Amino acid sequence: MTTVYVVGTFDTKGTELRYVRDLVRAAGVPVRTVDLATGGGDADGADVRARDVAAHHPDGPDAVFTGDRGTAVGAMAVAFERWARAAAGDVAGMLGLGGSGGTALITPGMRALPVGVPKVMVSTVASGDVAPYVGASDIAMMYSVTDVAGLNSVSRRVLGNAAHAVAGMAAHRLPAAGHAPAVGLTMFGVTTPCVTAVVERLGDAYDELVFHATGTGGRSMEKLVDDGLVTAVLDISTTEVCDLIAGGVMSAGEDRLGAIARTGVPYVGSCGALDMVNFGARDTVPERYADRLLYAHNPQVTLMRTTPEECARIGAWIAGKLNECAGPVRFVIPEGGVSMLDAPGQAFWDPDADAALFGALERELVPSDDRKLIRSPHHINDPEFADALVAAFHEIVGEK
């Protein structure tokens, strides 16, 4: 056990921060406090001064202490994220307290910590949409109920629960699991048979981590890759790229495949669900797509078939990303179709669109000894295609 860090703006939340600090310490857990105030003064009770955090900003502390609250908060968030990365080896847990500004200040630093490090954020905005704060991390958001503005009969209980929660998580670490190397796999409903078959073929030799390719799922997998917690990737369902290209609601952003390039982790990819863009209920589909081929997956999810032009852009985008990867890469094309809906007689069967996708991948991917494109005549959910993926995986990581 190292140290729990209690984080917030001491000029406005000092009483509350010292209260939770004392509770963590009383639980027998080492604790330090970090001040993120942007006023420029030194706070009573802070072990790490705001100026020491601000010094981690790429442009120095003067970029933080601007006198303008908006720019100062944004700059301090950047500085704290870099500070948290540098301090990560000493962090047994992190507890943050704040309103909307404090939450925006603290959570980027929490997201910079590895998955599995306890992170509790007590916030006035925790009862709303917390996706921008949590991202692909494992931050536990706790609603403060009352404002974080002094101690009262309610705030003492809420803050006390948060303090005891992070202290308990830090003090009672889970025993190490088995030593099987972790492999990340991406799955969508329409590629489930393929992913299930691949997991069965890998068996107990690996710790298979399956991620739902809904935008957050892809980002979560790549965060674990960046954190060094995933040793290889079977990216069977790259469908999030469709939403990036065509404006759907399940994009993983421009950095999809970025962790693969940064780390050189062994990578096997495929075209899973590159036939569809995701929207919400039917009435949420943008008007510009009113005449497109749409499919109601359920009352809350509407799928749109990608066109040949979009497929060509998707294929080129993926190939460009893979060209940046220094590690071993295999990308396996399922010529028989890329999802349950992309098969003869099904709603999204479109050989021309698939041909545009496959052609763009083949044209744009720069082959090498470590980077290869493999064509398979099978549908993505055929058992033979799962065999091809596993064979490619064993080629670059060896058999266990």
* Residue 300 CB-half CA count within 13 A: 0
Domain count, the chain: 2
Q: Read out DSSP for 211-232?
A: EE-SSHHHHHHHHHHHTT--SE
User: What pTM did the predictor assign?
Assistant: 0.82
CA dihedral 139, 143, 149, 150 (to 10 degrees): -100
- CA pseudo-torsion sign 173, 174, 176, 181: negative
Residue 122 belongs to domain spanning: 3-171
Report CA Rg, the chain: 24
- Among residues 118, 143, 171, the one where a domain terminates is 171
Q: Within this chain, do residues 152 and 276 fall inside the same structural domain, yes or no? A: no
Tokens of residue 352, six digits: 């021309």
- Sequence-distant (≥ 6) Cβ neighbours of residue 46 within 8 angstroms: 10, 33, 34, 35
Q: Within this chain, do residues 234 and 375 fall inside the same structural domain, yes or no? A: yes
- Among residues 127, 150, 171, the one where a domain terminates is 171
What Cα–Cα distance (Å) separates residue 296 from each residue in 280, 281, 302, 347, 383?
10, 8, 5, 11, 27
* Predicted confidence pLDDT, tens digits, the chain (400 residues): 689 999 999 999 999 999 999 999 999 999 999 999 998 877 777 999 999 999 999 999 999 999 888 899 999 999 999 999 999 999 999 999 999 999 999 999 999 999 999 999 999 999 988 999 999 899 999 999 999 988 999 999 999 999 999 999 999 987 766 678 999 999 999 999 999 999 999 999 999 999 999 999 999 999 999 989 999 999 999 999 999 999 999 999 999 999 999 999 999 999 999 999 999 999 999 999 999 999 998 888 999 999 999 999 999 999 999 999 999 999 999 999 999 999 999 999 999 999 999 999 999 999 999 999 999 999 999 999 999 999 999 999 987 6
Rounded to whole angstroms, the Cα distance separating 332 from 372 reads: 9
Tokens of residue 145, six digits: 């109920």
In a domain, 364, yes or no: yes
